[in-house]
Amino acid sequence: MGGGSGTRMNTPVPKQFMLLDGKPVLMHSISKFAEADPEIEIVVVLRQDQIDFWKQLCSEYNFQIPHALTTGGETRFHSVKKGLALVTEEGIVGVHDSARPLVSIKTIQTAFKTTEMYGNAVPAIPITDSIRQIDSGLSIAVDRTKYCATQTPQCFLTKILKKGYEQEYKYTFTDDASIVEAIGEKIHLIDGNSDNIKVTTPKDLIIADALLKNKRVLSSSNKANHSDDLSLLS
């Protein structure tokens, strides 16, 4: 988790530190993993110049979920590699974008359980827009049912992910799945959740805030209905 500069946000505050529903985006992301598994060990990878600011935010918002901190690298590849250096035991590693605060508990738990069986798991959702392939200046219509959009967390057995990161960096390594696939591993897809958007623009932040508020309304409504059901049964 971590590391972005906030360029597309057009703000000096990196996207993972922008406020969402009263607290920084990154805190939402960390909280989801702690809720999914209270015993999970969390590593946050940040740029060197962001670490003191993050510590200040944790103090300001009384954020007490335990996590290790390390500095990032030149690219996402190098940042994840630095985070992996702190993982010393065999098990499962889940790599998550810090700016995906709305990942569901179900997605996280399913990813880890699937990895136990198959060695890896990558959340994905269907593409609903029509898409075209650009090739030598020409655009070609393609069948969107043959494509999907991947999300995070992308989970792997520790030994497999570390082996993937022993490779030299390539610009085609856009996520952890592409890195692991390059060493011959078959990638296993699981259902992602549509709300698990990546907050990269001001518009994304507005959408994420609306989704959170909607979840709160639905949760309150379900609790009220459940209470009514109990009173009818008593």
Q: Which CATH number belongs to the domain containing residue 23 in this structure? A: 3.90.550.10
pLDDT at 85: 96
183 in a domain, yes or no?
yes
1 in a domain, yes or no?
no
42 in a domain, yes or no?
yes
151 in a domain, yes or no?
yes
pLDDT at 223: 58
Q: How does residue 13 score in pLDDT terms, banded at 50, 70 and 90?
A: confident
Does the structure show a pLDDT above 50 at 234? no
pLDDT at 57: 98
**Range with the lowest mean pLDDT among 41-55, 81-95, 216-230?**
216-230
Q: How many domains does the chain have?
A: 1
Higher pLDDT, residue 201 or 225: 201
Average pLDDT over residues 126-141: 93
Does the structure show a pLDDT above 60 at 233? no
Cα–Cα distance between 154 and 177 in angstroms, integer?
A: 7
| Domain assignment of residue 112, given as a range | 7-233
Please say whether the beta carbons of 199 and 25 come within 8 A.
yes
145 in a domain, yes or no?
yes
- Mean pLDDT, the chain, as a whole number? 90
Per-residue pLDDT reduced to its tens digit, 22-43: 999 999 999 999 999 999 999 9
106 in a domain, yes or no?
yes
pLDDT at 118: 98
pLDDT at 217: 78
Residues 6+ apart with CB under 8 A from 33: 40, 42, 94, 96, 108, 153
2 in a domain, yes or no?
no
pLDDT at 73: 93
Per-residue pLDDT reduced to its tens digit, 51-82: 999 999 999 999 999 999 999 999 999 999 99
57 in a domain, yes or no?
yes
Per-residue pLDDT reduced to its tens digit, 143-190: 999 999 999 999 999 999 999 999 999 999 999 999 999 999 999 999
Beta bridge partners of 126: 148
Average pLDDT over residues 135-140: 91
Per-residue pLDDT reduced to its tens digit, 84-98: 999 999 999 999 999
The widest CA-to-CA distance across the chain, in whole angstroms, is 70
